[in-house]
Amino acid sequence: MRRYLHILVIAIVAAALTSPAMAQDKPRYGGELIFAVPSEPPSYDGHREETFGVIHPMAPHYNTLLRTDPNDKTGTKLVSDLAESWTMAKDGRTYTFKLRRGVKFHDGSEMTSADVKASYDKIVFPPQGVASDRQGQYVAVEAVQAPDPYTVVFRLKWPAASFLASIGSPWNWIYKADILAKDVRWYEKNVMGTGPFTFVEHVKGSHWVGKRNPNYWDKGKPYLDGYRAVFIRDSAAQVAAVRGERVHMQFRGFSPSERDSLVQALGPKITVQESPWDCALLVAMNHDKKPFDDKRVRRALSLALDRYQGSQALSKIAIVKEVAGVQVPGTPYATPPAELEKLAGYGRDIAKSRAEAKRLLKEAGVPDGFGFTFKNRGIPMPYEPVGVWLIDQWRQIGLNVKQEVVEAAQYYSQVLRPGNYEVAMDFQCGYIVEPDLDIYKFQSKEISPANYSRYTDKTLDELFLKQGRAGDAEERKKYVREFEKRLVDDEVHYFYTLQWHRIIPHSSKVKGWTITPSHYLNQQLDAVWLTE
């Protein structure tokens, strides 16, 4: 009897200790999530825009066919959204999506395959005069068909390994076919989706408000009564807003010092989530200008970088941290650290790397103290600290580098596109971690308009095609690695500095939101809830 009593007491104590935690994990209904957005939507059409200033306030009004799992920190696991299930034909060229039934637009009309087809036709085959920002990512799509109201079929010209990820794009909101038929530009100024929140108001330059969609197809969601996106451009004002508890969070990211000041001021009231960011600063070397046409010189520039020490130092002051190759560390196609160390500039022995760099420069006939101008984009974070770090690293191998900062508005049109530089900072940022998107730009200049190093490399182009059409993940991984080795080691057409690092300090009241490597993902807010 006494034994059973002990067990009973232990059970009661355990229940008492665990119940508050369990209560914390059970979503609570109600409340308004308030978040800062550092940018503002130029128009309301996600198909044509490319700034997160569109995604953050507007994604909660829409659904996509597929989405990334809101609980997956890598942001690479695809789950269903409006498509309940999907299948791929054996030849890899036909994808069939079965749609959910009973999904309603905010005006009460039913969403069917006609809406999906109309939306994808606008994205993939935009009519004359209509811009579709990511149209180029759907070149494999031959046709979109709607054989019945709840089935959508995509026919591809060739098997595309990245196709499903492209369908999970956070930009591909499903619009209403009737509206598009009447006015294909209607969505530039209006909102009508099937998402968890309906549109209330947008006061330009001030805020955006959404409220709970009571007829949302995912029964029980969303948990919030609504949300309010406040447009705050200045980062100091964003920090003050979080600190003063005027907003719960900002979804793009804060700098390490901003994170530290918030943690210091708010203590347990703030929760910090961090992740490698699918953005990186790259060094482009103009192959049309001597001596950067010589791969020994390009290799020396990469070998000079002590990325590991740079990561330690820069991650304290800038939004960069991870040492990475062409894929975000921790994601399916990323090269493991031990493998990465074998590539030029990734070795742990920096003295050996720099000795090799000096030898290569000498061999290429580059004299000690050789000077060149490094052009950098006029954006303080993180371009400025990374630029200063690069110059310091190159000085360690006897190069004399002058930095020229060019205003952001003219950087691409005046510097990178016309090739008006010797060595320059370039940038790569994706909305989802996917090799096709992340390495597309490194193909030959005849194929990729974003190849600012201005080279032609047929081998690289072949490897890109091979990885993109690979039958299985392992085969694809092999080609991605080969591509990476050729890009940053064998030929050193381009090289990576450090991966960006995303830091989201948010009110501890906010639950149900998981950071991913992309500030475009996980913004539907359907699973987000507030503890009070």
Partner 1 sequence: MWKYVLKRVLLMIPTLLGVAVLIFFLMRVVPGDIVELRFAGESAFAQKENLDKERARLGLDQPMWLQFVTWMWGIARFDFGTSMWTGAPIIEEIKLRAALSFQLAVMATLIAVVLAIPLGVVAALKQDTWVDYVVRVFSIAGLATPSFWLGIVFILMLLIVFKWLPPMVYTPFWVNPWQNMLQLIWPALAVGYRYSAVATRMTRSAMLEVLREDYIRTARAKGLWQKLILSRHALKNAMLPVLTVVALEFAFLMGGLVVTEQVFNLNGLGMLFVESVARRDYTLTQALVMLVALVFILVNFTVDLMYAWLDPRIRFR
366 binds partner 1 (CB under 8 A): no
- Determine, following the binding rule CB under 8 A, whether residue 420 of this chain makes contact with partner 1: no
Ramachandran category for residue 92: left, alpha or beta (phi over 0 → left; psi -120 to 50 → alpha): left
**What's the rounded Cα separation, in Å, for the pair 181 and 168?**
24
Minimum gap (Å) between residue 436 Cβ and partner 1: 12
The closest of 386, 384, 336, 330 to 515, measured between CA atoms, is 330
Judged by CB under 8 A, does residue 11 bind partner 1? no
Contact segment (CB under 8 A) with partner 1 among 7-15, 98-106, 149-157, 198-206 equals: 198-206
To partner 1, the closest distance from the beta carbon of 529 in angstroms equals: 22
Assess 204 for contact with partner 1 (CB under 8 A). yes
> Which among 170, 195, 278, 197 is positioned nearest to 35, based on CA atoms?
197
Q: Is 312 in the site for partner 1 (CB under 8 A)?
A: no
For the stretch 354-360, contacts whose Cβ atoms lie closer than 8 Å and that sit 24 or more positions apart, written own/partner, are 354/303, 354/304, 354/396, 354/397, 356/300, 356/303, 357/299, 357/300, 357/301, 357/303, 357/304, 357/397, 358/300, 358/397, 358/398, 360/296, 360/297, 360/299, 360/300, 360/303
Q: Give min distance, CB of 300 to partner 1, in A.
A: 26
- Cβ at position 282, least distance to partner 1 in Å: 10
146 sits near partner 1 (criterion: CB under 8 A): no
- Shortest reach from residue 171's CB to partner 1, in Å: 11
Of 429, 375, 377, 376, the closest CA to residue 408 belongs to 377
- Which residues are 35's β-sheet partners? 229, 249
- Evaluate the omega torsion of the peptide bond into residue 291 and state whether it is cis, within 30 degrees of 0: yes
Is residue 442 a contact partner of residue 448, using CB atoms and an 8 Å limit?
Answer: yes
Under the binding rule (CB under 8 A), the answer on residue 429 touching partner 1 is yes
Tell whether residue 447 is a contact of partner 1 (CB under 8 A). Answer: no
**374 sits near partner 1 (criterion: CB under 8 A):** no
Q: Which is nearer to partner 1, 343 or 415 (CB)?
A: 415
Interface with partner 1, residue 189, by CB under 8 A? yes
Q: Please, which residue, 206 or 312, has the CB nearer to partner 1?
A: 206
**Cα distance between residue 505 and residue 250, in whole Å:** 8
Note whether 203 binds partner 1 by CB under 8 A.
Answer: yes
Which of positions 280-299 make contact with partner 1 (CB under 8 A)?
Answer: none
Q: Is 132 in the site for partner 1 (CB under 8 A)?
A: yes
Binding positions for partner 1, 244-263, rule CB under 8 A: 244-247
Report the nearest approach of partner 1 to the CB of residue 371 (Å): 25
Judge residue 198's burial from the number of C-beta atoms within 10 Å of its C-beta, 0-12 exposed, 13-18 middle, 19 or more buried. buried
Minimum gap (Å) between residue 244 Cβ and partner 1: 3
Do residues 341 and 352 make contact, with C-beta atoms less than 8 angstroms apart? Answer: no
508 touches partner 1 by CB under 8 A: no
Smallest distance from partner 1 to CB 432, Å:
12
Return the SS3 of 149: coil
Strands 249-250 and 32-37 turn out to be parallel
Asked if residue 272 binds partner 1 (CB under 8 A), the reply is: no
Q: Which is nearer to partner 1, 205 or 336 (CB)?
A: 205
Of the candidates 20, 24, 19, 29, the one whose C-alpha atom is nearest the C-alpha of residue 527 is 29
Q: In this structure, are residues 32 and 226 in contact, taking their beta carbons and an 8 Å threshold?
A: yes
Choice from 68, 119, 169, 428 touching partner 1 (CB under 8 A): 428
Single residue of 148, 201, 349, 407 touching partner 1 by CB under 8 A: 407
Helices (H), 341-489: 350-363, 383-395, 408-410, 435-439, 458-468, 473-485
Find the shortest distance in angstroms from Cβ 428 to partner 1: 7
Chain positions contacting partner 1, by CB under 8 A:
42-43, 49-52, 129-136, 188-189, 203-207, 230-234, 236-237, 240-241, 243-247, 265, 407-410, 412-414, 416, 426-431, 440-441, 449-450
